[in-house]
Amino acid sequence: MYLALRSTLAWALAVGPILANAASLQKITSDFGPNPRNVGFYIYVPDKLAANPPILVNPHWCHGDAQVCYAGSQYSTLASKYGFIVIYPDSPNTADKCWDVSSNETLTHDAGGDSLGIASMVRWTLDKYKGDPKRVFVTGISSGAMMTSVLVGAYPDLFAGGSAFAGVPYGCFAGDGYGVWSDACATGKVTKTGAEWAALVRAGYPGYAGWRPKMQIYHGTRDEVLNYTNFGEEIKEWNAVFGFGDAPTSSTPDTPVSGWTKNVYGGSDWFQAFSAAGVTHDIRNQENTVVEWFGLTCTGADCFQWGQGGPTAQ
Ligand SMILES: *[C@@H]1O[C@H](CO)[C@@H](O)[C@H](O)[C@H]1NC(C)=O
Ligand SMILES: *[C@@H]1O[C@H](CO)[C@@H](O)[C@H](O)[C@H]1NC(C)=O
């Protein structure tokens, strides 16, 4: 018994450091900055990190959590391959694990809500790992897509790009309080002009007149949870924010999936909208397309970064 225990201990000591070095999802419990809503902070830091690593933020969907989101996509595998860090925030809303995309606080730069907790995670990670402040990106599905729009809208200084799958426009869930579900928005009853949507986005960071992150959206035409109308509203919103016309500058069928149509708006490949024919809310993630467009597969000197190309002040 004693010997068995000892040999177990010896084995644990011998392989311990190896196990400790094998990258896995970690929870950060130290103080990482303002986090008024107590959003959980999980992070995946690959063993082989790029110099000044880029950061990808991947908020989960409703009824999901950081662990499930981490396990359910290719992002950690791609992070290990290319050396970037992935932040998996965890919603404090235990009732349905949806994100707070409704409160004025979350919709406003550095004002509070879930978005501020996530912004603090990004700032802490940049500092701790000497991350590249010009290569921070965000992507998510459903509630994670809504949070993507919120972060891109309220923190255009922090993110270089966003990719939202089956979400809604920034500001569409705006309501009285934290984590309020908007049936009107979900069912496609909230429609505005592009100018009205853009005014909401601008109000997310009053006085900000700088560069805006590039944006990519995906939506199934048969989405039964967040009606496809929201896709058209998002197109109006981001086109107005960027100052682009409403007509696509290019349209490519069967991209990246058969039956999906990729529309590009404006110049510089700045805003992409993928319409997925016949697809419900259960839309398939496209990790490779996303990381490639963010330039996270780029390991050279001229990788896409914040402030590069695209429209400037709006
Ligand atoms: C939203 O919050 C900001 C910052 O706290 C505040 O300046 C603004 O007046 C608020 N807007 C509304 C509509 O409550
Ligand atoms: C989306 O909303 C439109 C307009 O109300 C409706 O006709 C359509 O059936 C809805 N789509 C789904 C998949 O529920």
Q: What is the pLDDT of residues 243-265, one digit of tens each?
A: 999 999 999 999 999 999 999 99
Q: Which pLDDT does position 4 carry in this prediction?
A: 39
Q: Which of 100, 102, 103, 104 to mutate to test the pocket of ligand 1 (most atoms within 8 A of CB)?
A: 104
Ligand 1 mean position, distance from CA 190 (Å): 21
Whether 24 sits among the annotated catalytic residues: the reply is no
- Is it the case that residue 3 has pLDDT exceeding 50? no
Nearest ligand to the CA atom of 227: 2
Q: Which pLDDT does position 62 carry in this prediction?
A: 98
Nearest ligand to the CA atom of 219: 2
Q: Is the CB of 227 under 6 A from ligand 2?
A: yes
Confidence band for 312, pLDDT divided at 50, 70 and 90 = low
Ligand 1 mean position, distance from CA 143 (Å): 23
User: What is the rounded CA–CA span in Å between residue 44 and residue 39?
Assistant: 16
Ligand 1 mean position, distance from CA 243 (Å): 25
Q: Is the CB of 191 under 6 A from ligand 2?
A: no
Catalytic residue, chosen from 91, 103, 115, 142, is 142
- Is it the case that residue 11 has pLDDT exceeding 60? no
Closest CA to ligand 2's atom 8: 227
Please name each of the domains of the chain with its CATH number: 6-294 (3.40.50.1820)
pLDDT digits (tens, 9 = 90+) for 162-186: 999 999 999 999 999 999 999 999 9
Ligand 2 mean position, distance from CA 227 (Å): 6
Q: Is the CB of 81 under 6 A from ligand 2?
A: no
Closest CA to ligand 1's atom 11: 104
Q: Which pLDDT does position 310 carry in this prediction?
A: 78
Q: Is the CB of 96 under 6 A from ligand 2?
A: no
Nearest ligand to the CA atom of 281: 2
CB within 8 Å of 267: residues ≥ 6 apart: 249
Does this model's pTM top 0.85? yes
pLDDT digits (tens, 9 = 90+) for 121-154: 999 999 999 999 999 999 999 999 999 999 999 9
Q: Is the CB of 229 under 6 A from ligand 2?
A: yes
